[in-house]
Amino acid sequence: MRSLLLAVLAAYVVASIHSILAFVNKRKALQRVSHWSLFLGFILHTTALIADWALDGHYPLFNLRETLSFLAWTLAGSYGLVLYRYKAFALGPFTLPLVSLLTFVAILIRNAADNGPEPGGFSATWLFPIHTTLVVFSYAAFFVVFVASVMYLLQERELKLKTFTPAFHRLPSLTTVNEIATLAAAIGLALLTVGIATGMLWSSSRDGFLWHNDPKEVFAALTWLLYLLLIVYRSTAKWRGRTAAWLGVAGFALVLCTFFGARWMGSYHVFG
């Protein structure tokens, strides 16, 4: 298992390095290497997750190590989708290193003794894995929104100031990043909505409460509201472009708070 994850990490690292080199040198051959090693890494990672599930007997998305690994997997998958749909290679140098880092940390934690509470009580119901999976996928979508928004802001600024850095010519067009951000935000919001709903259902079936005033729940609700605002304003077109892009960045800050921050504020939620 560990050696399989190491192979996954190696493939992701190769993919990251080649995507960065391709971004700098604009070489198609390097891009191809990056795509193929990402593809290989993703397949291996999928295998590893399935093996994990089969061996440990619970859905591989419960403690911190599993969550990080799963998050890396969803990010790699989302980047693959963006590549397939928009050919936006420029996202690679920003996404793939993060994917590699998450995988690396997941491998490090693997040996740590503290694997959190036993998940027996949680995974007993099928609602819990659905809740966590959907929420993690929505985080990946919001990360894509974040990267696309930053690209929008950088380029918009350079167009307004009329001074162009070398990165300018390597990023996708304004319209493309705008589309990516809008679509990813819509998908992320949909996933988060269902994710929160299943979480509530699960919670009410377990202890009868829909809402615990838990920090993680509060942040998740704020995140949900913010992305809803973003989508509504985008569709009425009042906040196209800059403002929407800033919202995409702010939204991701909230996502980070939901993901990490809540744990330090004493949430009863585990990761996921």
Q: State in angstroms the smallest separation of the CB of 155 from another protein.
A: 7
162 binds another protein (CB under 8 A): yes
Please report whether residue 85 would count as binding another protein according to CB under 8 A.
no
Which 181-240 positions form the footprint of another protein (CB under 8 A)? Answer: 237-240
Number of residues located near another protein, criterion CB under 8 A: 24
| Residue owning tokens 């679509």 | 183
Long-range contacts of 237-243 (CB under 8 A, 24+ apart): 240/178, 241/152, 241/156, 241/174, 241/178, 242/152, 242/153, 242/156
Among 10, 51, 109, 174, binds another protein (CB under 8 A): 174
Window of 22-30, 48-56, 60-68, 257-265 that interacts with another protein by CB under 8 A: 22-30
Binding segment for another protein (CB under 8 A), chosen from 45-53, 102-110, 162-170, 195-203, is 162-170
Q: With left for phi above 0 and alpha for psi between -120 and 50, is residue 57 left, alpha or beta? A: left
Sign of CA dihedral 154, 85, 45, 199: positive
Q: Does 176 bind another protein (CB under 8 A)?
A: yes
What is the DSSP annotation of 124-165? TSTHHHHHHHHHHHHHHHHHHHHHHHHHHHHHHHHHHHT---
**Is 26 among the residues that bind another protein (CB under 8 A)?**
yes
Structure tokens of 43?
A: 């397949």
**Residues 237 to 266 in contact with another protein, rule: CB under 8 A:** 237-243
Q: Is 155 in the site for another protein (CB under 8 A)?
A: yes
DSSP character at residue 238: T
Per CB under 8 A, residues contacting another protein are 25-28, 155, 159-160, 162, 164, 166, 168-169, 172-176, 237-243
